[in-house]
Structure formats: structure tokens, C-alpha cells
Structure 1
Amino acid sequence: MIIGVLTLTFRLHGNRSLKGKRQVAASLKQKLRNTFNVAVSEVARQDDPGTLVLAVVSVAPDSRTVQSRLDKALMHAQAATAEELADSAIELFSADDAGGADGAYGADDGDGPCGPGGDAGDRN
């Protein structure tokens, strides 16, 4: 399994408020989610009204699919807004590199913070 992260940094010229920034972010996030079935989140500089940093994440069985999807998302993001794209980067990760021996993330082995056999939803 391959996980791809596209980081987009936009300069919001003339924007002086966080409300204006949220409007730009919400519109762009929704367009990317609807078009490419990806996860999108603002990941840095949330208190800076002049800069918007978004991470777009995609998961697929092979790197070619992830790379293609994120390349298309990058082109779409550039076309979908009048804001200046100051920087972009794509990183690919293998789940086998980041996870346990079987590549699983957050698997409940029964010895976690919730005790034997518990999970995060079993709080008393």
C-alpha cells in the first residue's frame, strides 16, 4: 500500500482576515475531495491570513496510481483558484516502511493504553 502526500502552499494576496482565508480553503478542499476522492486538510500556518498550506492525501495499492492522482490534483488546484501557488511537493510512503511487520497502523494488540482487549471506544 502506498500513501501519497501533496503539500500545497498558497499566497493569499490582499487577504487580511482568517475568515477570507477559510473561504478560500473550504472551496479548494471541497473541489479536491469531490473530484479526486482524497483527504484534504489545512496543516500549517493556520493563524496567518496571507498563507494557506494544504495537505492532500491519497492511498492506493501502487505508486503509479497515487502519483498520477496527486499530479492531477495539483493541476486542478492551480486551475481552481486565482491564488498564487508558491510551493508544492509530493511525497510517497510505503505502508510497510511506516507500519509494523504487517504494515498495519494502530492495530489493537490488547496491550495499548486502554488495557488488555480494550480499544479507544471502551472508556469507563
Structure 2
Amino acid sequence: MVVGVLRLTLFLPENHSLKGKRQVLRAIKDRVRNKFNVSIAEADGHDLWQRAELGICQVGTDRAFVDSALREVVNFIERLGLAPLGEEALELINC
């Protein structure tokens, strides 16, 4: 079994409130959940209104599949154009 953990930093420079941040993150999370079979949640930066960190997890039996699926998620979020991406950290864990 392989567990893939992706941590993404998003910047929200046009945002001016936590309410606006929640709206953008909800849109991103809902679209990712609808398109991919992954878990996604805000992992850090809860009190910062112009920055967010998302944690995204995928479990599978094939390392290449999990890696590819999480990279597709990154590309999808980038194509949405709702928030510029900052740092990206991908870790694959063999269990």
C-alpha cells in the first residue's frame, strides 16, 4: 500500500477577509473532490486571509499511480486559476 501526501501553499493576494478566503478554498476543495478520489483539507494558515495550506491525500497500491494522481491534482488546481500556487511538497509512503 502506498500513501501519497501532498502539501500545497496557496496565495490569495486579491482576498481581503477570512470569509473570502473560505469561499475560494471551498470552491477549490469541492472541485477537487468532485474530479478526483482524494481527501483534501486546509492544513495550516487558518487565521491568515491571504495564504492557505492544503493537505491532499491519496491511497493506492501502485506508487506511480499515486504520484501521477497527485500531480494531476496540482495541475488541476493551477488551471482553475482561483489562487496562485506557492510551495508544493509531495511525499510517498510505503506501508
The bucket for the TM-score relative to the shorter chain is over 0.9
Aligned partners of 1:77 and 1:6: how far apart in 2?
A: 13
- The equivalent residue for 1:28 is 28
Instruction: Give the gaps of 5 or more residues in structure 1.
Output: 96-124
TM-score by length of 2: 0.95
Structure of greater Rg: 1
Aligned partners of 1:58 and 1:50: how far apart in 2?
A: 27
Which aligned pairs between 1:6-85 and structure 2 lie closer than 5 A? 6-85=6-85
- Contact 2:11/2:83 (8 A) holds in 1: yes
Structure with more contact order per residue of length (Cα contacts < 8 Å, sep ≥ 6): 2
In the TM superposition, structure 1's runs of 4+ consecutive aligned residues that sit over 3 Å from their partners are none
Alignment-mate amino acid for residue 50 of structure 2:
G
Aligned partners of 1:15 and 1:93: how far apart in 2?
A: 35
Alignment-mate amino acid for residue 12 of structure 2:
L
Give the Å deviation of 1:89: 1.4
Instruction: Give the gaps of 5 or more residues in structure 2.
Output: none
Q: Secondary structure at the match of 1:24?
A: helix
Q: What's the RMSD between the two structures over aligned residues?
A: 0.9
What count of residue pairs does the alignment treat as equivalent?
Answer: 95
- Contact 2:24/2:82 (8 A) holds in 1: no
- Contact 1:28/1:81 (8 A) holds in 2: no
- Contact 1:17/1:49 (8 A) holds in 2: yes
TM-score by length of 1: 0.74
Give the Å deviation of 1:81: 2.6
Aligned partners of 1:36 and 1:51: how far apart in 2?
A: 23
Give the Å deviation of 1:16: 1.7
Range with greater deviation from structure 2 (78-87 or 36-45): 78-87
Identity %: 36
Greater fraction strand: 2
